[in-house]
Each structure stands twice: as structure tokens, then as C-alpha cells.
Chains A and B, each alone.
Chain A
Amino acid sequence: MKVLILGAGQVGSSAAYHLSREEANEVTVVDVSPDILRELQDRLDIRTVVGHAAYPDVLNRAGANDADIVVALTDSDETNMVACQVAYTLFHTPTKIARIRSADYMNAKDLFTQDAIPIDVRISPEQLVCDYIEKLILYPGTSQVLDCADGRVQLVGAKADRDGLLVGQRIATLREHIPNTEGRIAAIYRNGKSLAVEGDTIIQEGDEVFFIADRKDIRVFMSEMRRLEDPVRRVVIAGGGNIGSRLAKALEQTNQVKIIERDSVRARYISEQLNKAIVLVGDAADEELLLEENIDNVDVFCALTNSEEANILSSMLAKRLGAHKVMALINRASYVDLMEAGSIDVAISPQQVTIGSLLAHVRRGDVVKVHSLRHGAAEAIEAVAHGNRDESKVVGRKIEEINLPKGAAIAALVRDGRVIIAHHDTEIETDDHVILFLTDRRKIEYLEQLFQVGVSFV
């Protein structure tokens, strides 16, 4: 697939990184800064073009003529929209994905039609990150919550602690603990390595467990993994940027939200947008301010400013001052690894969140969706089986008959919104959502082919 990425910012660079690792893709990146591009080309096997991303001549030089997909990820919404328009009108690019930050544009759905601004998929990183954090707050104790089968079922990651009911016991006893729920454990990671999930596998303290369950059963499952935390009530958000203010807006009806913003003008603006949340003007790393606002009673402290270093420091401070749980927005993967072992409970990587969602759209149609787990160390793939036994390589076959690549394992099936445990003799039906875990991303292409309804395959 020929992919054209416009903008080599954080999201653009990591999209280029992920896509160029797959052999079938030919990636070209456009940016105005030759320095960033040179640095990027040193690391990745891609072509780079210097220039303004929306200019027809630049797009032409970047090979828009035969590109299959354009992903516009520049800083500016307007540039992204015009670039997609140019790609559509002049180069007839089939798929156009753009990052649209402004909620105003996002809300105007009629704007993005083929005869107005032809963008097929709009991605708002702020919104994605906001949703992601919201879910983590909604299900306390989880480290990752992903929607499967259009949100009917969820894939949840959590770290097992000694208070979990299942910890120290065989997985097979899960049935006895919670007899009336659908769901299963999909993967276990111990010390960064994945374990085979068998009936007699024993979960230990510190394991990272991924399970698939119905939305309503998640709390029950969580209690199996760790001590059940009380629902979150008091939330403090540090940083009133796009993500912070959106999150405050999303949470203010159900929780007590305080938001700390350094800039008084911005603070005033946010306070006008919010109804119940309290907007505080000040520094999130100001000990006095935090104490005054009863930081020791706060259930969740989210550091969401633009500076990741500031996020790390202020959330460490909040933790020391007594906040029950702290989350920080951290972009660099190396920082994430550094912090999650230490005093920060959840490190949120906006890049990772955005990339996961972006890549899911880059894939062909609805066949395969990719979720990055554990900051990219593994992938959860959700593939929809189509067709009948003759057309498909998976439908009508037992799981043991399917020719899976090395490092891939089918974890569960979702059929009509219900989770079905994948035994070796479970037969896959059409329209099943098959959830696979994959350790080697390069095998994705193979999986794509596996789930494609092939005319050539008889």
C-alpha cells in the first residue's frame, strides 16, 4: 500500500514508523522542516519530501498520483482539510484521513462529504485521549480499556495485585468464582513476556492480565484481579489545554472536578465553558495550592499539560501529597517505561492512543482493527470473519484448523455481542469478531489476507 503522511510531528513520525515496519507499505512523509525529515529518514526506510503539505506541486512530488491513502497530520486543521481536498480533486486519492483538532469542525458533520471537504476519516487526538482517560476513570484499576465489536464488549488490561480473588489460583477456577458472566482471560504478561493462557495457569501478583468481557461485567472481573477500588468521585486535572478541558467537561456531571490552569486568560475561557467544574488558576506543581485543595482526598489526579516533564513532576508531587491515584500524559516511550514502574500509576501516551486508532483506519475496510497493547509491545487484533466456508479461510473452521502465523493466538470470539471462549474446537461463524493477540506486528499483513474474502481461494 502506498501511504502518504503529511506532517512529521509526533503522531506523523510514529505513524510512519509503524507503517514502514510492515513490508508491504511504501511510505512517503511530507513536512516543511528538512531537519526533522532528515532525522526521520535516518531511522526509517521511507521517502521524504520537503514542502507545504497542501500544495499540489508538493503532493505531486510526493507521489500523490498513485497513493492509496493520504493521512494528513499537520498542526493545522485547515492545512489538513485543504490537503485532503487537493488529494481528492487533483489526484483522486481513494482514502483520506485527517487530523481535525477543533471541535467546531468535528461537530459539523455535513462538512465532510465528497462534494464539500472529502475526508473519509477524521481523527481528533484530543478527543481520543480524552475518551481513553475517561474510561480509565470509569473503570478504576484498569491500565487499558479498548472497545471491541463496536463497544459491546471491552478488552481490559489490569495489573494483578495480591488482593485479587483469582490471584494465586488456577484460571480454571474463574468459572466457579463468577459463574454467570461471559468473558475470559485473553492474555497474561509476566515481566514483559506473554504466558500461554491455559486452565491451570496461575496468576501471580504483578502480572498484567488482559480480559475480554461485557461492559457490565468489568467490575466483577476487576475484583478477580485486584482489590476493587471505589468508584472515582474527586478528580483533579492539571492543565487546561484541549485535553484537560474536554475531560473536565466529560466528567463534570458525574464527578467532582477541579481543573488547574496556569494562564489566567485561558482559565477564564475554560470556566465559561464548564458548568460545575471548578477552575483554579495556578501552578500544578505548587504544593500550597494542592494542599489547600485537599489533594489528599482526591481519587484521581491527571496531569495533562503540554510538557511531559511537568506532568511527571506534578503527578509525583500529588502522589506524595496523598492523591490516591495519579495519571500523567507522557509521550516518550522511554519515559513511560521509566514511570510506570515507579510512582505514577498510569502513564498515558497520546501518541500511542492516536496511533492505535489511526492504524485501525489505515487497514483495509472493516476486516481488521488493530489495538496497541502495553505501549506497542503487543497488538490486539480484532478481525471480522466474512463469507462462507468456500470463500473464507476462517469461516466454518475450527480454531485448530486455522493456519495462524507464529506469535498469533485467537483469544476470544464475539458473537452477537456475547463473548465466546475460544477452545481449539470452537467453530468460527460468519460475522464473528475474532480477537487475536499478536506479538509480531509484521504478521499483520498475513492476518489481513487470512480474513479477506478471497475470490481466488476456492
Chain B
Amino acid sequence: MNWTVVQRILGLLLMMFSVTMLPPIIVSMIFDEQSWLPFVEGFALTLFAGLITWFPVRKLRKELRLRDGFVVVAAFWTVLGTFGAAPLYFADEITLSVTDAVFESMSGLTTTGATILTGLDALPRSILYYRQQLQWLGGMGIIVLAVAVLPMLGVGGMQLYRAETPGPVKDTKLTPRITETAKALWYVYLAFTIACTVAYMIAGMGWFDAICHAFSTVAIGGFSTHDMSIGYFDSPAIDVVAIIFMFAAGINFSLHFYAWRFVSIRHYAQDPEFRAYTAFLITISALVVAILFQQQHYANPGQTLINGLFQAVSIATTTGYTTANFSAWPAALPVVLILASFVGGSAGSTAGGIKVIRWLLIYKQGMREIVRLVHPSAEIPVKLGNKAVQYRVVDAVWGFFSVYVVVFAVLMVAMMSTGLDQVTAFSAMAATLNNLGPGLGDVASGFQTVSDIGKWIAIVGMLLGRLEIFTLLVLITPTFWRH
């Protein structure tokens, strides 16, 4: 292990991140609020911490190894969640314990969107903006951003990129240079954010709300500036905009990149994951709307359609916006929706969950077993599109799946032991591990009632979910530390 390299990069990243506490100060000046002090304090604290970490080893020039990459990413997300909490903790308008502040900050960064705050509408705009911005930074990945703007990472950039980006296949680069790939992803992300802001404004949002919600929509986060989330606006136009952009943000961003580069949408139709993702969302939406109709939950068919569609897309992509209290929906709908969040979005998107491509591969393997029973001596590769998938990838998917299940079960039992009932514990873990946000039962609208230990378990869950478990898990295995 190369501790000095890790230290240098961590310091640099912290200093870089400290800059992100400056925009809220501008927001507070625009709205003439007195709430800028916590951000200045947060900025100074983070910058200083970064500086003392970086300064002693600033002259060091060494390549980042594969192992160091894991440590940097895991440590950075952990440290960042903590430092990101500083402004929330310092703020006078809200009184948060350390646990609550870290929970809120981590929930933002990991794009979970679960909150412990109530009375959002009355909070200063700068704090609201800061929460949304955390989600936006976490969406495409703060490390990917760092790789894009810090060219000196070199090959090390690839190790970091791989440890952060979701999905089973991480070696596909959009461009030969990792820096360029990271830049391309952030440009696409930025373009989507701007488009989303404009669309929200056209649909009738004020500019501040539009920016804030665009941040959390393209990041598939789920934070809102209002307690009632998107339901506050009560506008079908805004719902539709949100649905479109949540759907788009759940697609693999390299597809967006190709579409932009080659000015064609052919790539989408050819991508097996995209097709499965679309088919899955359509099925879930149809199911939800059909059951709502059948149960006559809403009097108005238009309302049924828009609420059903919105909630299905929002939960299945793991965004977590709400227009309706879906936990009170009839029949098995709440559970169906929570289960849908396990699928999540595509690999390489900003969504959480296990990812469509993994489910697709698992499904194809199941199908292969059936064919094998009929033709025992057949050679049947698992194929995506027309290409055979490497055994290594298939193995990795199973490995991921089993660890996901185990981690889920362990954390859920731990959650139950803090005094939550089973439905609440189950949905709380689904909401955090899948980076979804809202759960069922006691956590339907937020994690306010969960105990401190429960919140820490949730924090661990969110981080595990965002970093796709292994990045964090390797650090606690003896193999990793053995030289």
C-alpha cells in the first residue's frame, strides 16, 4: 500500500471539494439571507483539512496502484460525506446532531434522497440549494469529476474511475484517455442538467426550484426543496418533465455520449440493456396504473395515469420523488415498487440498485440452464446483443448479486434490532442500499424517527449501494491488506 500517494490525492480532492461550498454563499447573497456563515466555515474547514493532508507529500510523484484506487475512493466518499455535513451542522436555522448532519449529507452525495429534515419550505434557500448540489455532484460521481479536472492522475485515474463507476463492465472507455472520458461524461451530464432546468422552467417552475430539481433529477437523487416533493407543484407538465429526465438519467451515459458524438439515436435501439430497461419501466408502469384503475384509488383517470406513471418511474429508477403517498396505495403496489428499485437503472447511469444489465445477465443464465436441460451437450454462451459475454463478467455478476443479498439481509436484521418493525426495516434498507430514498411504514416520508444507530446503519447502506459494495467491502478483507 502506498499511503503517501493516497494521502496526496485525498488532500487534493478535499481541497477541490471545498470549492463546492462557495456557490451556496452566492445563493444566500442573491436571496439576501444571513445563512452564509456555515458555508464559509465549511469551506475553510475542508480547505484547511485538505491542505494539511496534501502539504507534507505535495512533491511526491508516484503512480496510483489498483489497491490505492480502492482506498482513495472509499476514503474519499467517507471523508466527503463527513465534511459535506459541516455546513448543515453549523447552520443556525436547523439544529442537527452530528449523526443527522452526516446522514443528510451522505444521503445527498450518494443520491439516495432520504431526509431527516422537515419543514423544508421554510429553510433558507442556500441550505436547500446545498443539499441539491450535493446530489448533483454525487450523481455522476465526484471522483469522475476529479479525474476530469485533475489530469495528473494519469493511469491512476482509471483505477479511481473503475472503483466508482457502477456496472459490471468497467473497462470500456469512451475515449483513449481516461481524462477525456471523464470530461465527456460530465459534459453530457451538464447538458442534461441545463436541458432539465429549462424544461422545468417552461413547465412552470421558478428558476431556483428548476435548477434545484434539475440537479436532483439528472442525478437520480430525489431531494426536493419542498416537503411534498414534486407533489408540491401539483402540475402534470412538471410531472411529465420529471418522468422524461428521470428516464434519460437512468440510461447508460455512454449511450448519450455516442448519440451526441455521432448525432444518431441508433445506438439506443441496439443496446440490449437499454431495451431491457425500457421494457422493464413500461411493464412496471402498466402494472401500477392497471392496479390503480382496478382498485379505483383515484377518481380521475388522468390522475391515475400520471401518478401511477410518475411513481413507477421515480421508484424503479431509484430517484425517490413522490407526487403521491405510494406507501398507502392499495394491494401489493407499495411492495412491488420497492422491489422494482432493486432493479434500478442501467450500468453507467446515475441510478442506484443492482442495475438492469446484471438482472439481464442473470435472466439469460437462467434461460441457458433451461436450454441445457433440453440439449445437455449444447455449447451455449451467454450473449448480450450479438456478442458473447465473457465468463469473468458473468461470474462477477453472480458474485455481486450474492454479496448484495447477504449485505442486505445483514443490514436489515441490524436495522430490525434497533427496534424497527420488519416492513420498515426492509424498506429502509431497500431505500438506502438501492439509493432510493423513501421507504414504507415509519420511513415513508423520512428517517426522522429512526434511532441514531439505525441512521448509521443506513449511512453504511447508502455508501455500500453507491460504491456498489465491492469497493468498500474489499477494504475489510484480509486479502486486501496482505502483502
**Docked-complex contact B177 and A45, CB < 8 angstroms:** yes
B155 at the interface (CB under 8 A from A): yes
Given the interface pairs A34-B390, A41-B158, the reply to whether A46 lies near B176 with Cβ below 8 Å is: yes
A453 at the interface (CB under 8 A from B): no
Given the interface pairs A34-B390, A38-B171, the reply to whether A44 lies near B155 with Cβ below 8 Å is: yes
**Docked-complex contact B176 and A2, CB < 8 angstroms:** yes
The closest CB in chain B to the CB of A63 belongs to B176
Per-residue CB contact flags for chain B residues 59-81 toward chain A (1 = under 8 Å, else 0) read: 00000001000000000000000
Per-residue CB contact flags for chain B residues 144-180 toward chain A (1 = under 8 Å, else 0) read: 0000000100110110000000000001010111101
A406 at the interface (CB under 8 A from B): no
B155 interface neighbour in A23, A38, A43, Cβ under 8 Å: A43
**Docked-complex contact A45 and B154, CB < 8 angstroms:** yes
Per the bound structure, the CA–CA distance linking A46 and B180 in Å amounts to 11
**Docked-complex contact A28 and B390, CB < 8 angstroms:** no
**Docked-complex contact A27 and B176, CB < 8 angstroms:** yes
**Docked-complex contact A26 and B171, CB < 8 angstroms:** no
Bin the interface of chain A by size: 10 to 19
Chain B residues, CB < 8 A from A23: 151
Chain B residues, CB < 8 A from A305: none
A42 at the interface (CB under 8 A from B): yes
Q: Which residues of B (344-390) have their CB < 8 Å from a CB of A?
A: 390
Chain B residues, CB < 8 A from A43: 155
The closest CB in chain A to the CB of B156 belongs to A45
Per the bound structure, the CA–CA distance linking A2 and B155 in Å amounts to 18
Per the bound structure, the CA–CA distance linking A48 and B180 in Å amounts to 15
Per-residue CB contact flags for chain A residues 169-210 toward chain B (1 = under 8 Å, else 0) read: 000000000000000000000000000000000000000000
Chain B residues, CB < 8 A from A26: 175-177, 180
The closest CB in chain A to the CB of B390 belongs to A34
Chain B residues, CB < 8 A from A45: 154-155, 157-158, 176-178
Chain A residues, CB < 8 A from B155: 43-45
Per the bound structure, the CA–CA distance linking A63 and B180 in Å amounts to 15
The closest CB in chain B to the CB of A3 belongs to B176
Q: How far is the CB of B69 from chain A (nearest CB, A)?
A: 10
Q: How far is the CB of A210 from chain B (nearest CB, A)?
A: 27
A375 at the interface (CB under 8 A from B): no
Chain B residues, CB < 8 A from A276: none
**Docked-complex contact A41 and B171, CB < 8 angstroms:** yes
Chain A residues, CB < 8 A from B66: 42
Per the bound structure, the CA–CA distance linking A137 and B482 in Å amounts to 49
Per the bound structure, the CA–CA distance linking A2 and B390 in Å amounts to 28
Q: How far is the CB of A33 from chain B (nearest CB, A)?
A: 12
A92 at the interface (CB under 8 A from B): no
Chain B residues, CB < 8 A from A20: 176
The closest CB in chain B to the CB of A28 belongs to B176
Per the bound structure, the CA–CA distance linking A34 and B158 in Å amounts to 17
Q: Which residues of B (173-223) have their CB < 8 Å from a CB of A?
A: 173, 175-178, 180
Per the bound structure, the CA–CA distance linking A38 and B157 in Å amounts to 16
Per the bound structure, the CA–CA distance linking A178 and B384 in Å amounts to 73
**Docked-complex contact A47 and B390, CB < 8 angstroms:** no
Shortest beta-carbon contacts, A-B, top 5: A26-B176, A47-B176, A47-B173, A45-B155, A28-B176
Seed contacts A45-B157, A45-B177, A48-B171; 18 additional CB < 8 Å A-B pairs: A20-B176, A26-B175, A26-B176, A26-B177, A26-B180, A34-B390, A41-B158, A41-B171, A42-B66, A42-B158, A43-B155, A44-B155, A45-B158, A45-B178, A46-B176, A47-B175, A47-B176, A63-B176
